[in-house]
Structure 1
């Protein structure tokens, strides 16, 4: 199938006003691999204004090499032909500015640099600042932008700020950071980004649920037995020992990515797809989750093992990791949502490193019919429940498993699958998910971004677990072999309810 990157015409309502995208921390990998390719994809689809510029800001002087390096990232990471006729005009608008993030003189010079670009390019003072920096710089940069008069929007224009995760490490730190950021920026200027929400397959959960009469009537406790959400990676920590030692699987994935996906699966239909309506329904889901007892959680750490046929080391042998580390590389828990739709339906969520394969998926397991007419005719002696699998990555798609009669003179039943593939239906795409998020932030649409109360609500759920885990160091780490599906305690979490994780 051809790759889908270009669109001959754009919806004029989705084209932002002229603006400059300013990326702090532009020397980092994110800018080259994700942000610049995403911006160029928007250009290919005619979704960027003609009057536009990108300014990378970092501490080192990279002005001589920055544009060429970013172009290399667009070509190699964005699936772009080096001979694309729109590439050179786009790269002509990519600039670089060097300053320390705590340097007032540097910020004053940056302000003048941006104002000069406004005059050259007609960008009218509109700004999208992207803080692709370590979390300790978030508040400092925001406060200096305000101090030097760069947070006030021009008349009829905008100044918006994207903040990367992690947004806090627990409830207290999240509240502190929110207070510092909100002291210099209005809440509607702040776009707390979670790249999972840029994935088409996550956004499609809402379309699948609310746009199809076939599924919405059965999306409740009367028909659904339980829901599983898995975010599994086969890779290890990829040299990020110092970061992962302070994060762990719960902070890194469950509190943000998985909880966002859970809200899309469980939320009520919003009044509209405006940001306020969607955020309200997501927040209702998180607030309806009962406090999570520590006995409804499981944690693990990988040891040596085999992944994709290759021997790999254990977490404690990774570079710059404490050889007696108690950091979890796997986390799982059982959640209960106490509302009319979901009462009595458990949600089992898990995330981990060095698992059997890379897969992010929502698995919805339906209840059995009240009378098993064919239970003695099933091939394996039991009728399997209907299962709906929403594959977020990779091999994006949807699979529905149901029972069917095996051809022959007797009535025997076997599970079969109906499968929908994004690549087969729409062609392979080189988009990386940041396209939609960057565009929405320029348009001031916060639907797919986290807001303050939501961030603090999910941290309020997870912080007691982190505290309980910190108070009782695990004696059995490492407790799962790399290349498997995690520790036995995670299997026990479902087994005591008479269930088991769905095979992925």
Structure 2
């Protein structure tokens, strides 16, 4: 109740709107361990729907072990006969290739692919929605979107808080299954895909799955795992694995950095570096696209000793403040010739006087509209697990110990060595 707001329409007549909404909500107890509850739900829905067209969306926030049983009961007992039916499924989408395939087979035995919406709230962020808009509607970017001009791409997802705020299943699945499998790989797929034939969800998903299938096998030596140890952030927040559901000295990683490569003509040789962790110095979610140096740069002597300072960048930032930044080289005003790296800054809060919708709001609206481009199709799911499962098995079978890092710090030192190995300087430091 207290979470209901009218913030999107600037609080106009908020109380009236909340009351009107609540009058249309009902609670039907049924449990998820039998089909009787779904039969009762169907009867209640038929009373409310009367004789008109009846579309139904089922949001399944249930333990993974109960998912197929609940989905089967919905399919057999609660689907509408006078409209479409759609089913929303929360992470995790399996534990590895085999468990995910079993889950997919079970769902497809009862539902069509177009009815299934696998939701990851991070994919509903405006940053993700804007990826294709920036690329395909701006001539200034699309011709440069290839190995000839782009030196590396960095995807960074860092959070201040610890395990206690990172999801109910983090302590079992770890950060690779939690963040990398869906959010980061989907972000890279949207960024790196070929132009789709249209904006239809299936057209976009066809191109995304090609990117995932083109990714090279992940070698363990190109992956850095970390786990935070007890410490205090600058804001005074303490963190310790001893105070969480994860046993101290477990091998569950709370940080990962990795170098990915896409083996196709557009991206051959371009490192996609990912970095994600919790218990870090600040909340940061951004994509950084670093362009190559200008060949035979006439101003190299004015740039200074570090050529990295002269690298053009396109920065798409969701946290700490939504922004699109373009880093360019510019002459400092005044006598002489001194160059400075400056940012052309589109800060959303300064440009747009709008309330940013919550990611779940965006995604659930997409489900209502039947827009599925931000939801993983079964073949996308399989391609992502095929990339990560061999790596996960190697980590777990060899009992690879994560590198410890201070809670509230910048993460494992190994991440910097990884960047240097692939000729990349982490741009967020």
Q: Does 1:423 align with 2:349?
A: yes
Instruction: After TM superposition, give the deviation of residue 197 of structure 1 in Å.
Output: 2.4
Give the TM-score normalised by the residue count of structure 2: 0.94
For residues 340-379 of structure 1, the aligned pairs below 5 Å read 340-378=265-303
Match of 2:60? 131
Equivalent residue for 2:3, pick from 63, 68, 73: 73
- CA distance in 1 between counterparts of 2:56 and 2:102 reads 25
Match of 2:16? 85
Q: Does 1:106 align with 2:37?
A: yes
Instruction: After TM superposition, give the deviation of residue 278 of structure 1 in Å.
Output: 0.2
Instruction: After TM superposition, give the deviation of residue 288 of structure 1 in Å.
Output: 0.7
Contact kept? 1:334, 1:347, Cα under 8 Å? yes
Match of 1:491? 416
Instruction: After TM superposition, give the deviation of residue 114 of structure 1 in Å.
Output: 1.0
Instruction: After TM superposition, give the deviation of residue 327 of structure 1 in Å.
Output: 0.1
Contact kept? 1:398, 1:420, Cα under 8 Å? yes
Match of 2:183? 257
Unaligned runs of 5+ in 2: none
Instruction: After TM superposition, give the deviation of residue 265 of structure 1 in Å.
Output: 1.0
- CA distance in 1 between counterparts of 2:195 and 2:301 reads 40
Contact kept? 2:97, 2:386, Cα under 8 Å? yes
- CA distance in 1 between counterparts of 2:250 and 2:347 reads 41
The superposition leaves residues 179-229 of structure 1 with CA deviations (integer Å, 9 ceiling, x where unpaired) of 111111111111111222222221111000000011101111011100000
Query: What SS does the aligned partner of 1:94 have?
Result: coil
Equivalent residue for 1:116, pick from 47, 61, 66: 47
Query: What SS does the aligned partner of 1:391 have?
Result: strand
Contact kept? 1:242, 1:320, Cα under 8 Å? no
Match of 2:388? 462
- Comparing 404-413 with 436-445, greater Cα deviation is found at 436-445
Give the TM-score normalised by the residue count of structure 1: 0.81
How many positions carry a matched residue from both structures?
427
Query: What SS does the aligned partner of 1:73 have?
Result: coil
Structure-2 change in CA distance of 1:238 and 1:81 (3 Å): farther
Query: What SS does the aligned partner of 1:446 have?
Result: coil
Q: Does 1:94 align with 2:22?
A: no
The superposition leaves residues 93-132 of structure 1 with CA deviations (integer Å, 9 ceiling, x where unpaired) of 011111111122222211111111112xx66332011112
Match of 2:263? 338
Instruction: After TM superposition, give the deviation of residue 430 of structure 1 in Å.
Output: 4.4
- CA distance in 2 between counterparts of 1:434 and 1:396 reads 17
Equivalent residue for 2:79, pick from 147, 151, 160: 151
Give the superposed CA RMSD: 2.0
Instruction: After TM superposition, give the deviation of residue 381 of structure 1 in Å.
Output: 5.7
- CA distance in 2 between counterparts of 1:244 and 1:468 reads 19
For residues 88-487 of structure 1, the aligned pairs below 5 Å read 88-119=19-50, 124-148=53-77, 150-151=78-79, 153-154=81-82, 157-238=83-164, 243-315=169-241, 317-378=242-303, 382=307, 383-475=309-401, 477=402, 479-487=404-412
Structure-2 change in CA distance of 1:369 and 1:430 (3 Å): closer
